[in-house]
Amino acid sequence: MRSRSHAAVGVILNWVSRQNLPPGARLPSARLLAGQLGLGFTTAELACKVLISRGLLKRNGYKLLVGAGTPVHAPVSGEVCVLSYLESFSQIAGRFLSERGVKHRVVELNHVNQPNPAPVLRKVLSEKPAGVILWMPYWIEELESMLAPVKIPMVICSDPAPPNLHQSSVSGDIYRGTKKALQHLFDLGHRHIAHVSCSKTMPLDHELAACYRNVCGQLGLKQAAQAIWQAESAFNEVLRKTMLEQRKRHPEVTALYSHGFAASLARDIFRVPGDLSVVSFLEPVIKTRPPLTHVALRNPDCVPMWACTEIISQLQSLEAGHPKRPPNRAYFDLELIERGSTRVLSSREGFSDPILPIDPISPMGRTGSMGRMAATPWDSWRKTYLYLKKSASRNWRQLDLTKLANHSMTREHGWLGADPLLHFPPGLRSIHGVPFHVIEETLNGGRAVVTFRSPHTHSTEGKELPASAKLLLGGRVKALYFLHGCGWADKPVRFAEYQVHFQSGKAASIPLVPFGPSPSIALKLHGRLKPNLQDWYSLLEHPDFPHAKSVTVVNPADPEAYDRYLYTLEWINPQPKEEVTHIEVRVDPEAGPTLALIAVTALA
C-alpha cells in the first residue's frame, strides 16, 4: 500500500507538468501548494523532499523551484542503521533513506528472541555506524544509562521516551490522545470509566495512568480518576484475573480505557460494547471483532520519516564540522479512530447529557484557554490582570523595539520556524488590559520580532542572532508587561530571563520556563520550576499562570483552521519608587527553546 506522500509526489508532478513550467521557475511554497492541491501540509512537504532528491524540484534558500531532473547526491556519507520491532516502520524508513541515496541497513528485532534490544543495540554501536534509528513499542528503563555515554547520532522512536534522554526522540502525544479517548466516552454519556494499567512494570502505562487521572480531573470525573485497575504484570493471565476481579467489585463501570493488549483482552472477557465500551490507546496488534475504537496516528508514515529526516540533519551538521546539536523532541498528535467497541448509554443506564468543559482546569490548577477557543477565540485577550483591575494608574509607556527587531512575523521561516505568525495585525493592541505596540514590519525592513539564539535559530540575513539584548527604560515603573512567544519547548527548563536593573545597581530577575508538552512532567517539576510560558504549537495545552496569560491568534474567517499561541507576562515592581534604568534580556543558547520578543509595555 502506497503512503500518502508517494501519492502526493504524482499529484505535484502532474500539476507542474500542466503548468508547463521551465527549470528554475518558482513554485508556491509547500504550504500554499498543499492548499491548492488539497493535500495535507506534512504530506506535501515530504513529497517535495522526495522530488528534490530526484532533482525534479530544488530549493534556493526558502524558495521552491522547478529542477532540471538531475538527482542530487547522497546528503550524508556514512551508513545509518535502522533497528526496529515493526516491519512496516523498517520498510518506510528504508524506502525514505534509499530515495535520498543514504547508505543504510535494517536490523529486524523480534519480541520472542530479543525482548530487550540492549544486546543487539550494543553490538550495532560497537560497529561504529554513522547514525542509528531505534523503534521500540515502549521504553525500557535500563537503556537510559546505556545510551548516556553514546556519542553516535541517534533517534529513538518509543512511547514515551524519557525527557532527559541525550538522543533525539519521537513519539505520539499520550496526553492529547488520552484526552480525545475520554472525551469520546464522556460525550456518549459514560461517567463510570476505569483504566487498566500495568504501570508498576511498564513506563508507558505509568505515563498513560498519569494522563488518564489528569483528563478525568478536567472532565470533572473524580470517581473515574480513582478507578485504575492495577495489574501486577502484563501477562495475559494476570491481566485477565485483575479485570474479572475489579469488574465484580465495580459493576457500575460502563467503559474501559487501556493500552492495546489489555483492551484486546477485555474484548475477549466481556461483551463489548453491550456490557462495556472499550477504547484502546494505539491500535491493538491482535485484531478483534468488533474492531476496537482507538487513538493512534492516522498516517503512521510520519514517525519513520521524521526519524530519518532528523538523523540526516544531525549527520549533515557533524560532517559540516558543527558541534553536536542538542536533542530534538517530536510529539505527533493522535487521532480518535472510531470502530465498533463503544456505544451511547441509554437513560435507563444512567446517561446524562454531556456537559462539555468550557474552561478545563490545567494540570497545575490554573484555567486553560483551549476549551474556550473554538467558541470565542478572542476571550483570551480580554482576561485583564488582577493588578490592573485594582490599579488606578493608566500611564502607559511602550518600549521601542524597532532597532532590535531581526525577524519577520508573517513570512515562512520567520519568527520561530517554518510556519509564519499570521492574522496578528500590527499597531496598538489591547491584550489582557495592556496596550502593546506590535511593529509594522513593512515599515521596518520586514522585521517585527526580536528572536534570540537557540539550537534551532542561529542566524538571520547572515548575522548571528543575539543571546542578549538591552532595552533602555529610565524612569519609575509600577509594573512591566511582556508580549512574547517561544518554540521548541519540549520540556520545562529555565532557558531565558528578563533582568530589571535599578539605578541603585540592584537587579531583579524574571526567569522564563515553558510548560512543555507533558503535563505529568510539568507537575513533577512544579515545586522547583514555575512555568510562565508555553510553546506556540496549537496541539499543546496552553494554561494561564498567576502572572502570565495565553494569547490565542486565529484566522477570523475560520478560527478552527489556524491557531497559534503567544503569552503575556506580568512583573509587579517590588520597589516602585526606585528608578529602573534598563531591562536586559538574556537567553541560554544551548537550553533548547527559542524566545521571540514582540512587545514590552511599562506601567508608570
Give 10-30 as a DSSP string: HHHHHHHHHHTPPTT-EE--H
Quote the percentage of the chain above a pLDDT of 70: 85
Whole-number pLDDT of residue 483: 97
Same fold, 80-172+299-332 and 174-297+337-349: yes
- Residue 506's identity, in one-letter code, is K
**Residue 567: Cβ within 10 Å count:** 24
Determine the average pLDDT of the residues in 126-145. 85
Question: Does residue 160 have a cis peptide bond before it, meaning omega lies within 30 degrees of 0?
Answer: yes
- CA 394 to chain CA centroid, Å, is 38
Whole-number pLDDT of residue 441: 87
- Number of alpha helices (DSSP H) and beta strands (DSSP E) in the chain: 15, 29
Whole-number pLDDT of residue 525: 52
Domain ranges of the chain: 4-66, 80-172+299-332, 174-297+337-349, 370-603
Q: With H, G, I as helix, E, B as strand and everything else as coil, classify residue 239.
A: helix
CATH architecture of 174-297+337-349: 3-Layer(aba) Sandwich (3.40)
First to last CA, the chain: 65
Whole-number pLDDT of residue 178: 92
CATH topology for 80-172+299-332 is: Rossmann fold (3.40.50)
Q: Select from 1.10.10.10, 3.40.1350.10, 3.40.50.300, 3.40.50.720 the CATH code of 4-66.
A: 1.10.10.10
Q: Which of 13-27, 295-309, 543-557, 576-590 has the lowest mean pLDDT?
A: 13-27
Residues in the chain, how many?
604
Quote the percentage of the chain above a pLDDT of 90: 30
Q: With H, G, I as helix, E, B as strand and everything else as coil, classify residue 438.
A: strand
Whole-number pLDDT of residue 125: 93
Cell output for 298? 492516522
Whole-number pLDDT of residue 290: 67
Mean pLDDT of the chain: 82
Per-residue pLDDT tens for 513-531? 998 876 555 555 555 678 8
- Please give the residue that has the higher pLDDT: either 363 or 243: 243
Helix axes 30-37, 4-19, angle to 10 degrees: 90
Determine the average pLDDT of the residues in 77-98. 89
E strands of 138-184, at which residues?
154-157, 168-172
278 DSSP β-pair partners: 256
Residue with cell 519568527: 415
Q: With H, G, I as helix, E, B as strand and everything else as coil, classify residue 491.
A: coil
Burial of 423 (0-12, 13-18, 19+ CB in 10 A): middle
